[in-house]
Structure 1
Amino acid sequence: MAILGNIIKGVINLKDKFSSEIIHTEAQEKVLKELLEKAKDTQFGKFYNFNDILNSDNISSTYSKMIPYFDYNKINKEWWYKLHDGEENITWPGNPSYFALSSGTTGKSSKRIPVTDDMIDAIRQSGIKQVFSLSNFNLPADFFEKEIMMLGSSIDLKERNNHLEGEISGISASNIPFWFKGYYKPGEEIAKIDDWDERVNHIAKNAKNWYIGALSGIPAWIELMLQKVIEHHNLENIHEIWPNLQVYTSGGVAFGPYEKSFNSLMGKPVTVIDTYLASEGYIATQVRPETDAMQLNTDSGIYFEFVPFNPDYINEEGSLKNEAPSLGLKDVELNQDYILIISTVSGAWRYLIGDTIEFTDVEKAEIKITGRTKFFLNTVGSQLSVNKMDDAMKHLEEKFKTKIPEYTICAKRLEDGEFYHCWYLGSEIKNSNEEEIANELDSFLKEANKNYKVARSKALKGVKVSVISPDKFYNWSERNKKKGGQVKMERVMKEDKFIDWENFVNKS
């Protein structure tokens, strides 16, 4: 009998029973006020008169009028650079203990995003919320006695100018509570290995010694780790070595494109729980099994705003135009794409995180990620978002009985001077007819998106498809020093980056 598991499950159920339902709009008003109060004496708070905002009749409205939008480049150029010069109290009191390194999807050099002690506490609180929400998933008591494999970047953080640097997954894993360390795998010694392939080799060698009940990490890298374990032990599926594996906590990117390839590694179904941990904070987590949408963490150090997604609001380099209107949680609607804006306990203010979302339940503050602002393809008016592209990949998987975990696209002008959508699909389609796939893809998108259909009748000449091994996508990430980390593969590339990509594919 799982005595400890029953105790833990009982505590979780009891906590859930006596917890009051969060009123998300009220929680957000409280968070904004707390953020402004704590940061009012910082350089940023004085410059933008936080005291005046706090004394106004409508704090949220005044806040959105008085503070401009920031993306990383703007806030780093104007404010965060001072932190690296040793100044304190810039956009948040004191100095951050950590900087999260994030090259995102297109950046050539790492961004350094402040991670304060207050943010570590906020991430921990959101993590506890996720644990307590497990009571909704009807998991057996013995699950709570099993170990959790957390596969992220190295926890061997680098010291620099009196702070530590690493990817957010490594920073988070290095701050797990002491009571959790007995459940945490692969353990600190292996997790400190910087080279991802070497770390995965150690995981494969030790896999038979662990009783894994849950996995957590980016889908692409979790899959490669599972493949390595299966190959090392000559298994049919991962459940042959980890028979108690029941939960996978996905994060970083939409799980949908990876679902088919992930399930092929399983011996039996597992519960998939989506999470949304970014370098800037723990944004949202799935809290109930009836939906794969995630609930915004509205009471844990992040204030959210939402800009209706409209290409006219976005500058060419991806930043927001100042005149773009923002909405609070109380004013959003269903079935509308929004650009996500956050203000945080790490001193990010009206910060463009780069993701687009839509609400599936406003009262419950539940969302789905629909894409990236930089992954929105609007060349010649096609207006394709990543969720439409993901839907197209699922259609092709069903049509051609295959798996397509990775893809990228570019609107490219070819030799005839006309624009084409050039797709690369990561798949093992046998004897693939790329022209047939292109026609099927084109037909699906015409039906799914009226703007695309109009573009195809005018300036968008055609569709071209190249089918390549998924390994080429992973090798591309490795070449860009992003293997195993918080990587978001470029779903949409600009022409200059696409030239580099095609050269890489043809050479490798």
Structure 2
Amino acid sequence: MKKSSLLKPYAHYLRRRIRYRAGFAVEMQEEIRKDLVRTARNTAFGKDHSFDRIKTYADFKRHVPIGDYEAFRSYFDRTKAGEADVCWPGKPRYLAKTSGTTSGVKYIPLTRDSLPNHFGSARNALFNYVAETGHSRWLDGKMIFLSGSPEMGSTNGIPTGRLSGIVNHEVPAWLRTNQLPSYPTNCIEDWETKLEAIVDETIGADMRLISGIPPWVQMYYERLLARSGKRTIKELFPNFEMFVYGGVNFEPYRESLERLVGERIPSVETYPASEGFLAYQDSQTEPGLLLNTASGIFFEFVPAEEVFSDNPPRLSLGEVEVGKNYAVILSTTAGLWGYNLGDTVEFVSTEPHRILVTGRVKHFISAFGEHVIGKEVESALLRVAQEHSVSVTEFTVAPQVNPESGLPYHEWFVEFGTPPADLAAFAAAVDREMVEENLYYRDLIEGKILRPLVMRELPAGAFREYMRSQGKLGGQNKVPRLSNDRALVDRL
């Protein structure tokens, strides 16, 4: 019997359980908070922060401070050194190695208790899709997960690698026979060499599910078509039926990817991070991602505009409101406590709790107090691009505070797939949308503090060349949409 037939009943069971738990999300979050505190009471962090005195959420907020990786570095360093019972009982099963903007390389613990969050959530996202749509043929063919190398190192006896590499080692046996690329190919570090090897292995395969960050999937599609001589990916892979992605907003890449594929392929968006698997798309008809409220993570939310305050307000799940921008704070079964993830989200629903990822806490422009966020620039550009039949390959925005003449402005660097007939008119239309998106930006434009945005058209391949020059081509690397300084665009 085919896997698709065998697993369909389990998929329906999982979907029923997901929907049931989503109905009791606030209550489950309170139970998770209690369990986390109780389990970690005798750890170094638990003793240092008087976990034995925490009875209520108010107590939790008094005893557990908010901080980023740097704020808790002393505990992470002790864990990395091989000490047990630092922030969670025992030692981590893995250390996920990831790069940070201010802390250099970060080592995020993954424990035996936190691994089900990562792998169970990925399974739930895929099987929920099967139960919702009835589409399960992808289970009977080949799948590819474009990711970083699965090679692992060791840090004082703890296996250490990128999250995508750790995931590769935990793929269940029933799925491994369907998985591409091969382990040796996946271990190739140079992205372009690896990509050619991936094309070699997949060009004649029955590919049915493709997963990865959209800009690198686009590069994969382009190489496949160049090598095969086919006009579309669907012509090359006639059974291709599911695209899984995360890490960036898909909409800026949708037009170019669908053009390469030849049609719209159903997709599932996920929200994984080394710190935890936070959310996933649970509906093909409703907006947003279902927050993972029953999987060992206790969520808190801080209004984004107050995240850098000395004593910012902290909200539990039951206190959030639809339409507001929040910084995400995590406490988890991996031993993260009051951890500022650095991401911002907006709730589109609280029954159930669905979110949109709106950007990064540190990826914004507020050189003049405007606090423009990623969601706003993406929305403005995409609306105007659709109206003008323009496609955008990649873009980033930075402030120009000290122009050679005239008022300061926001400077947009855009690589087009299909460029506008009149760049100046296109830029003016985007500026009008930005005025609608952000009231502070409107005030600055109308008050003659800023002049309308300036748009620079970049040649094809400019962003890939930039990422290559930074050693960030492929894998899980992304171009920031916004910078509050000019370091990135000056290098670009």
Q: TM-score, normalised by structure 2?
A: 0.93
Which residue of the other structure, out of 70, 81, 85, is the alignment partner of 2:67? 70
Q: CA deviation at 1:292?
A: 3.8
Q: 1:84 to 1:143 in 2, by over 3 A?
A: closer
Conservation of the 8 A alpha-carbon contact between 1:136 and 1:288: no
Q: Aligned to 1:21, what secondary structure does the other structure show?
A: helix
**Between 435-444 and 334-343, the greater mean CA deviation after superposition:** 435-444
Per-residue CA distance 1:52-110 (angstroms, 9 max, x = gap) = 11xx2x2x22111221111111111x321222333222112222232222225x45832
- Provide the residue aligned with 1:90 in structure 2: 86
Which residue is equivalent to 1:479?
Answer: 469
2-side partners of 1:129 and 1:300: how far apart? 11
Give the structure 1 partner of residue 430 of structure 2: 441
CA displacement at 1:254 relative to structure 2: 1.6
State the distance in 2 between where 1:284 and 1:19 align: 12
Picking from 219, 222, 241, the partner of 2:217 is 222
Q: Tell me which of 449, 453, 475 is aligned to 1:463.
A: 453
**Does the 8 Å contact 1:24/1:363 carry over to 2?**
no
Partner of 1:247: 242
Mapped to 1, the partners of 2:486 and 2:138 lie a distance apart of 49
Question: Structure 1 regions of 5+ residues with no counterpart?
Answer: 315-319
Aligned length: 488
Q: Partners in 2 of 1:180 and 1:237 — Cα distance?
A: 27
Give the match for residue 137 of structure 2.
142
Whole-angstrom CA distance in 1 between matches of 2:180 and 2:167: 14
Partner of 1:370: 358
Contact 2:69 2:103 in 1 (8 A): no
Instruction: State the 1:271 CA deviation.
Output: 0.7
Q: Distance in 2 between matches of 1:378 and 1:221?
A: 30
Shift of 1:203: 1.4
Aligned mates of 1:496, 1:424 — CA distance in 2: 12
Distance 1:115 1:480, change over 3 A: farther
- Please give the per-residue CA displacement for 1:366-394, whole angstroms capped at 9, x wherever unaligned: 11101111122222132322111111121
Aligned pair partner of 2:441 in 452, 477, 483: 452
Contact 2:88 2:333 in 1 (8 A): yes
| Structure 2: stretches of 5+ with no match in the other structure | none
Structure 1 residue 457, shift from structure 2 partner: 2.0
CA separation of 1:149/1:292 partners in 2, compared to 1, >3 Å: closer, same or farther? farther
**3-state DSSP class of the match of 1:87?**
coil
Partner of 2:34: 33
- Distance in 1, matches of 2:398 and 2:60, equals 38
Correspondence for 2:50: 49
Alpha-carbon distance in 1 for matches of 2:125, 2:264: 21
Residue 289 of structure 1 and its aligned partner are, at CA, apart by 1.1
3-state DSSP of counterpart to 1:117: coil
Rounded to whole Å, the distance in 2 between the matches of 1:403 and 1:255 is 13
What amino acid does structure 1 have at the position aligned with 2:453? V
Distance 1:405 1:353, change over 3 A: farther
The equivalent residue for 1:152 is 147
Q: Any residues of structure 2 matched to 1:408-419 within 5 Å, and which?
A: 408-413=396-401, 414-416=403-405, 418-419=407-408
Residue 432 of structure 1 and its aligned partner are, at CA, apart by 5.7
How big is the shift at 1:451?
Answer: 1.7
1:5 partnered with 2:43 = no
* Residues 120 and 172 in structure 1, CA contact (< 8 A), matched pair in contact too: no
Whole-angstrom distance in 2 between the partners of 1:18 and 1:292: 20
Q: Does 1:208 align with 2:203?
A: yes
Q: Secondary structure at the match of 2:392?
A: coil
1:271 counterpart residue number: 266
Contact 2:138-2:242 within 8 A present in 1 as well: no
Conserved 8 A contact 1:406-1:470: no
Aligned mates of 1:10, 1:113 — CA distance in 2: 36
What amino acid maps onto 2:450 in structure 1?
Answer: L
Structure 2: distance between partners of 1:492 and 1:4: 44
How far residue 246 of structure 1 moved from its aligned partner, in angstroms, is 1.0
Return the TM-score normalized by structure 1. Answer: 0.91
Looking at structure 2, the residues matched to 431 and 371 of structure 1 have their Cα atoms a distance apart, in angstroms, of 26
Stretches of 4+ moved more than 6 A in 1? none
Instruction: Tell me the percent identity.
Output: 27
| More deviation, 26-35/347-356 | 26-35
Cα distance, 1:251 vs structure 2 = 0.5
In the alignment, is the contact (CA less than 8 A) between 1:167 and 1:486 conserved in 2?
no
**Counterparts of 1:493 and 1:359, CA distance in 2:** 24
Determine which of 372, 383, 392 is the counterpart of 1:404: 392
Over 3 Å counting, the alpha-carbon distance change for 1:141 and 1:20 in structure 2 is closer
Task: Give the Cα separation in 2 of the matches to 1:277 and 1:440.
Answer: 34
Contact 1:136 1:287 in 2 (8 A): no
Shift of 1:486: 2.2
Q: How many Å apart are 1:152 and its aligned residue?
A: 0.9
Partner of 2:169: 174
Q: Partner amino acid for 1:379?
A: A
1:317 aligns with: none
Q: 1:496, CA displacement in angstroms?
A: 4.6
The alpha carbon displacement at 1:205 in A equals 1.3
Residue 300 in 1 paired to residue 295 in 2?
Answer: yes
Aligned to 2:480: 490
Mapped partners of 2:155, 2:273: distance in 1: 22
C-alpha spacing 1:417/1:115, structure 2 compared with 1 (3 Å): farther
The answer to whether 1:190 aligns with 2:185 is yes
Letter in 2 for 1:493: S
Contact 2:244 2:269 in 1 (8 A): yes
- Give the letter aligned to residue 5 of structure 1: S
Query: What's the secondary structure of 1:118's corresponding residue?
Result: coil
Deviation, 1:470, is: 5.3
Conserved? CA contact 1:211–1:244, under 8 Å: yes
C-alpha separation between the residues in 2 aligned to 1:221 and 1:358? Answer: 26
Contact 2:287–2:348 (8 Å) recurs in 1: no
For residues 131-151 of structure 1, what are the alpha-carbon distances to aligned partners after superposition, in whole Å with 9 as ceiling and x for unaligned?
331234323443331222111
